[in-house]
């Protein structure tokens, strides 16, 4: 995740961690494509931010990920994305993407935000559902 965040800087990276929920050594990282720049170019009124301050994953890519995980008897453990030149926080946009009708879109899934300042990872924070919203639950080692 940290390497992905550094590599994509100054754009936001986005990805998922999948596994069985047991042995963390068997977890896999899946890099997802941030198509925010294309969406911004095609429809700047609706997608007013570019990839330096936002991400958008093609829904077809997410559906493919979900099918792959289910077919292998695994689950999505976490989604992650970076905040280039910003601190770790769960933004309004992050919340809106993760919550629908006041419930998590993916129950039990954690969200990780990685702060990248001047191309170097500064912090990584995990956000967990607290019954009302996603709150910081753990600072991850960087």
Report yes or no: 115 and 127 within 8 Å, Cβ to Cβ.
no
CA separation, residue 115 to residues 3, 44, 83 (Å): 12, 25, 5
**What digits encode the pLDDT tens for the residues 129-142?**
999 999 999 999 99
Q: Closest by alpha carbon to 90, among 113, 116, 109, 110?
A: 113
pLDDT in tens, 8-40: 999 999 999 999 877 777 899 999 999 999 999
Question: Shortest CA distance to 108 belongs to which of 78, 80, 70?
Answer: 78
* Cα–Cα dist 109/66, whole Å: 13
Q: Average of pLDDT values for 44-73?
A: 93
DSSP H helical segments within the chain, as ranges?
2-8, 36-42, 59-71, 92-98
SS3 26: helix
pLDDT digits (tens, 9 = 90+) for 95-114: 999 999 999 999 999 999 99
- Position 133 scores a pLDDT of 92
> What pLDDT, on a 0 to 100 scale, did the predictor assign at position 23?
73
């Amino acid at each position: 995740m940290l390497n992905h965040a550094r590599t994509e800087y100054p754009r936001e990276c986005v990805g998922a961690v999948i596994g069985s929920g047991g042995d963390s050594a068997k977890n896999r990282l899946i890099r997802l494509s941030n198509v925010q720049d294309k969406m911004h170019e095609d429809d700047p009124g609706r997608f007013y931010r570019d990839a330096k301050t936002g991400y958008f994953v093609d829904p077809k890519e997410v559906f493919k990920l979900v099918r792959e995980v289910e077919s292998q008897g695994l689950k999505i453990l976490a989604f992650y994305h970076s905040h280039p030149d910003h601190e770790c926080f769960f933004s309004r946009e992050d919340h809106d993407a993760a919550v629908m009708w006041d419930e998590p879109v993916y129950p039990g899934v954690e969200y990780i935000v990685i702060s990248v300042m001047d191309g170097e990872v500064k912090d990584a924070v995990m956000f967990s559902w607290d019954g009302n919203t996603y709150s910081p639950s753990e600072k991850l080692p960087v």
